[in-house]
Structure 1
Amino acid sequence: MANEAPVPKKVLLFGATGVIGKDILNALVDDKASFEKIGIFTSPGTAEKKAGALAELKAKGIQVVVGDVSKEDDVRKAFQDYDTVVSALGRNVITAQIPLLTIAESTPSIHTFYPSEYGTDIEYGPSSATEPPHQKKLQVRKHIRDNIKRLKATLLVTGPYSDLYIGKMSGDAAEAGTFDVKAKKAILLGSGDDKVSFTTMADVGKLLVAALKTPTSTSPRILKVNSFTTTPNEILAEFKKQSGAKWDVSYTALDTLKILEKEAWAKQSPIATVYTLRRIWTEGGTLYEERDNGKIGEPTTETLEEQVSKALEKETAAFQSGEL
């Protein structure tokens, strides 16, 4: 195929110790036989604080590159030994990818770039352009479309992480939806029958590795992938089935969720983004006529049953050890 990028063989990961970066790194390590080299770029501070964990990675054959992501010389030097960059930088520093992309574009060895796009589709429909949580990612997409000509960029859109949705929200934030295993209490969003497409955090890594192994001539390539589609009521039913217990259930209607969202932004609450994203999901902002898993080999993904089982095990273990 014309202008098809080579299959990535030397992969450098940014944000490897973050929320989703750890799962991406685990998936790369699990499939490291498919790659010639896997490395992570980390700051001097992280290298010092997490020396033990980094030593374990080195023992597994993972390269650890220490540098400052804001210093061009450090980044450019790191890029020389790799052909692919995968970013898992967090929401607060998402625009730091713009200089990374610029440097990668001018580095001959780099042919493939995966920006940190995991999560809600930021161009689902016309209203997406005005959603506050989307603005920084939209800047990155614009930079890719306007300025990145040589690199092949893939945007892996996964929808919400089921691990974080199928769990407990604390305090007032519980009105944004919660499944409290210890208290056997759930607050469901919308009607309870609104469909949401989720991706487990482990599957984000698995799907990304599958995409890496599937070359493309398109840039930016947008892959809309997920693990399963379900509803709050179906999630609750699975919790009831596996826990064998009666649950106290209430609902936060979509109109109420919108009011809470507006109030949170007015107060500049740190959870305002949570309200907005969960409102988008409840409105159907993760649903497509078909998903793109098949374009990358249809890798096996986790099920709702498996996710609920993990949630029960995790929270049970936590409160039994006094962590909750």
Structure 2
Amino acid sequence: MAEKSKILIIGATGCIGKYVVEASAKVGHPTFAFVRESTLNFNPVEAKLVDHFKSIGVTILHGDLYCHESLVNAIKQVDVVISTLGAMELADQVFIITAIKEVVNIKRFFPSEFGMDVDKVNAVEPIKSMFAEKAQIRRAIEAEGIPYTYVSCDSFVSFLLPTLVYLEPGATAPPRDKILILGDGNVKAVFNEERDIATYTIKAVDDPRTLNKTLYIKPPKNTLSFNELVAMWEKMIGKTVEKIYIPEKQILKDIKTSPVPINILLALNHTTFVKGDQTSFEIDPLFRVEASELYPDVKYTTVEEYLGRFV
């Protein structure tokens, strides 16, 4: 059996990074988490998470994205680099690219994607610029000839399903009386549980079928329209809810007049549920592959199973 690649996760304590770390360690990859010293000194929640990483056999490497020497020293110890950095640090992944080029031993780089395919979107601001930053990182990786895999997982269930996309502050469960539906409700979107995203990502690390391709995570049971989501919820709670459809013109107006972060969430919802940018194209097997087809052994969490937690 081939030796498992040594994996470095940069952004290891973030919302998706922590799951990637766990998924890597779980299946026996020598796993390294790149962590700032300040994380341990000033953030007790993340410090506790780092202690958990240590308990499952993860090696903690201290350093900083903006310290070239620490990046190079960390990357020298591994075969694969996975970035799970957040939105504010996307453009700064150029520092990772520079370090990888210097080290030259990296078999694969996974930049921080973990959303829609940024080469397929028709987004408006304020997320248009964020998608453009991801696309620029892709072009930089390709220009440098770095082996890569881009992970396109579309929507995190924890961001949208607990309230059925309802942005009311303080809401913790889907509405049972009235639901706002973006657009006509017929556009299909994709919803994935974060642990499943991490599992598929780690599956792809040593898989030649995912080399220099985009790995889409589009399980068939998790590809649903807004109307289908609402119908599923109604069946679960045993009642019909009032449906209010919000036209695109109103959504675009709300994006321009809403404060941060509501405007960001509205813009994401617009590209997802109105423009249909998650499902409006075919997957070309020459450049793209689909995770649930490649790895049918993975038992992913379905939307129905996830929504059932709120009944």
Secondary structure, aligned partner of 2:7: strand
Give distance in 2, aligned partners of 1:286 and 1:51: 35
Give distance in 1, aligned partners of 2:24 and 2:207: 15
Partner of 2:56: 60
Unaligned runs of 5+ in 2: 284-288
Equivalent residue in structure 1 for 2:148, among 133, 148, 153: 153
Maintained 8 Å contact 2:215/2:290: yes
Q: Does 1:214 align with 2:207?
A: yes
Q: 2:252 is aligned with what amino acid?
A: K
Partner of 1:23: 19
Deviation per residue, 1:171-219 (Å, 9 max, x gap): 9x449xx884366442111112221122222221111012113125853
Identity in percent? 21
Runs of 4+ in 1 over 6 A off after TM superposition: none
Q: 1:87 is aligned with what amino acid?
A: S
Deviation per residue, 1:90-124 (Å, 9 max, x gap): 01111121110111122133221100111022111
Q: 1:159 is aligned with what amino acid?
A: D
TM-score by length of 1: 0.81
Q: 2:308 is aligned with what amino acid?
A: S
Deviation per residue, 1:249-285 (Å, 9 max, x gap): 3222222212222334xxx633322222211112110
Maintained 8 Å contact 2:113/2:152: yes
Unaligned runs of 5+ in 1: 1-5, 314-324
Partner of 1:293: 291
Cα gap change, 1:188/1:198 in structure 2, threshold over 3 Å: closer, same or farther? same
- Residue 38 of structure 1 deviates from its aligned partner by 0.4
Q: Does 1:236 align with 2:235?
A: no
Q: 2:12 is aligned with what amino acid?
A: A
Give distance in 1, aligned partners of 2:238 and 2:94: 50
TM-score by length of 2: 0.84
Cα gap change, 1:95/1:8 in structure 2, threshold over 3 Å: closer, same or farther? farther
Maintained 8 Å contact 1:186/1:250: yes
Give distance in 2, aligned partners of 1:160 and 1:152: 25
Give distance in 1, aligned partners of 2:247 and 2:293: 36
Cα gap change, 1:244/1:23 in structure 2, threshold over 3 Å: closer, same or farther? farther
Partner of 2:191: 198
What aligned pairs does 1:95-110 form with structure 2 within 5 A after superposition?
95-110=91-106
Equivalent residue in structure 2 for 1:280, among 258, 271, 291: 271
Partner of 1:137: 134
